[in-house]
């Protein structure tokens, strides 16, 4: 393989050039590994520039590998996801060329997480399954559990809830009782319980996860568990405690420099404001969250925040704005494959139309929601939403004073 170095260098000069590259890679790795908060752009630019050289030199693969694996969680957290994907793809190809199976497994793991965040679930599963298999072959059981836990969360995102539970339990069987990775499995199980609207079961799982992390390990997972515990508490009608959870999650995400999940916590806090009949504070939180999801191309969360923005505008009786955001939510939810979110947005759109006396348009929206839910007939977590949409459709038909009201198109 040709070495990327200035033309004309050979012998001792080539060795010197490689030594300089190795030193630059190590300096970047140390600087990024020790940095607190978000990455400084100049540090990231320097690291990526160095990588463009060291990845091409066989002898410098260990330095390149260590720099990539240090960069990966920081770039993902800070929202540099498309740039990170290119780096990981290149590094994975090199690990395979050079036969570094441990690095290959780790790079598959990072790519799987990245694809899951972008709702590219098939790609996520391919990488995470490869990661789990490689770690299993090397008898790296804890690392295998990490891959299985992320596979479980990906299955949860696809509404394959029983499979998600099975994978999380399988991961737990590979871990020591006090391992912090157990907390991630509990986080997955709690999230599945949220999808099934089993609020107390979700609360128990997230509180167990928080207890598992009580010694301060993994502030990011601690923040995730706080935010999702807040969701369960809202549905259990413990609203003040839920708001405390969201505010704690926001503070923790800000401390570790995670703008994406800080935006998630802000979105959830906005939902609580909206439920309390306070649309303006809700819209203020959504205004902080939406640009972050747009920057990171997080279509699943864009669907959620647009749905929530639509609901807040509905509270203000700003119907044109509400309908606009419900339609945006439906588009993004379909793009991400989130059937429940698409149906929820269409149900809200139908309610907005009905509130304006537009029964025909309401029927169109409700029937579109039912068609979405028909795609998830084996998903028990959608049953409550199916019941709601069906009731709304029957109600709006009754409101038409016995006239036959049928929607022709969405």
Q: Would 339 be classed as within a structural domain?
A: yes
| CA atoms of 91 and 97, how far apart (whole Å) | 10
* Number of compact structural domains in the chain: 1
Residue 404 pLDDT greater than 60, yes or no: no
Mean pLDDT on 123-139: 97
| CA atoms of 115 and 122, how far apart (whole Å) | 8
Return the higher-pLDDT residue of 406 and 234: 234
The phi-psi region of residue 9 (left if phi > 0; otherwise alpha if psi is between -120 and 50; otherwise beta) is: beta
Residue 218 pLDDT greater than 50, yes or no: yes
Mean pLDDT on 216-222: 81
Give the pLDDT confidence score for residue 23 in this predicted structure. Answer: 86
Q: Would 351 be classed as within a structural domain?
A: yes
Residue 321 pLDDT greater than 50, yes or no: yes
Mean pLDDT on 276-296: 95
Give the pLDDT confidence score for residue 390 in this predicted structure. Answer: 92
Q: Would 179 be classed as within a structural domain?
A: no
Mean pLDDT on 51-68: 91
Mean pLDDT on 182-186: 95
Q: Would 361 be classed as within a structural domain?
A: yes
Mean pLDDT on 178-206: 94
Range of the domain at 385: 326-410
Give the pLDDT confidence score for residue 5 in this predicted structure. Answer: 43
Give the pLDDT confidence score for residue 15 in this predicted structure. Answer: 72
Q: Would 40 be classed as within a structural domain?
A: no
3-41, pLDDT tens digit by residue?
Answer: 344 444 455 666 777 788 888 888 888 888 877 767 788
Burial of 387 (0-12, 13-18, 19+ CB in 10 A): exposed
Q: Would 347 be classed as within a structural domain?
A: yes
């Amino acid at each position: 393989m040709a070495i990327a170095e200035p033309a004309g260098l050979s012998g001792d000069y080539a060795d010197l050039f490689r030594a300089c590259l190795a030193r630059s890679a190590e300096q970047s790795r140390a600087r990024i590994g020790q940095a607190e908060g978000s990455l400084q752009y100049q540090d990231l630019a320097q690291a990526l520039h160095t990588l463009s050289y060291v990845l091409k030199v066989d002898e410098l693969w260990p330095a390149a590998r260590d720099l990539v694996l240090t960069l990966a969680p920081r770039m993902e957290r800070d929202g540099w996801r498309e740039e990170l994907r290119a780096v990981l793809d290149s590094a994975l190809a090199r690990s395979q060329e050079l036969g570094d199976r441990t690095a290959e497994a780790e790079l598959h793991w990072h790519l799987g997480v990245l694809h899951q965040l972008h709702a590219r679930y098939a790609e996520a599963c391919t990488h995470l399954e490869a990661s789990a298999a490689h770690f299993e072959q090397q008898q790296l059981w804890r690392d295998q559990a990490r891959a299985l836990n992320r596979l479980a969360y990906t299955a949860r995102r696809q509404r394959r809830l029983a499979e998600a539970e099975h994978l999380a339990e399988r991961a737990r069987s590979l871990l020591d009782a006090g391992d912090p990775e157990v907390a991630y499995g509990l986080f997955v199980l709690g999230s599945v319980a949220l999808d099934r609207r089993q609020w107390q079961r979700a609360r128990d799982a997230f509180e167990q996860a928080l207890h598992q992390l009580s010694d301060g390990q993994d502030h990011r997972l601690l923040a995730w568990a706080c935010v999702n515990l807040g969701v369960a508490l809202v549905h259990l009608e413990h609203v003040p405690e839920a708001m405390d959870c969201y505010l704690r999650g926001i503070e923790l995400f800000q401390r570790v420099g995670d703008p994406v999940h800080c935006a998630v916590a802000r979105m959830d806090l906005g939902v609580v404001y909206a439920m309390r009949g306070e649309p303006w504070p809700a819209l203020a939180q959504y205004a902080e969250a939406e640009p972050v999801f747009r920057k990171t191309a997080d279509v699943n969360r864009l669907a959620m925040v647009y749905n929530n923005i639509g609901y807040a505008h509905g509270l203000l009786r700003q119907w044109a704005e509400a309908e606009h955001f419900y339609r945006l939510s439906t588009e993004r939810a379909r793009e991400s494959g989130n059937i429940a979110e698409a149906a929820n947005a269409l149900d809200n759109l139908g309610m907005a139309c009905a509130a304006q006396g537009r029964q025909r348009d309401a029927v169109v929206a409700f029937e579109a929601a039912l068609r979405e839910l028909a795609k998830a007939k084996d998903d028990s977590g959608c049953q409550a939403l199916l019941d709601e949409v069906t009731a709304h459709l029957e109600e709006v038909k009754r409101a038409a004073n016995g006239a036959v009201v049928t929607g022709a198109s969405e």
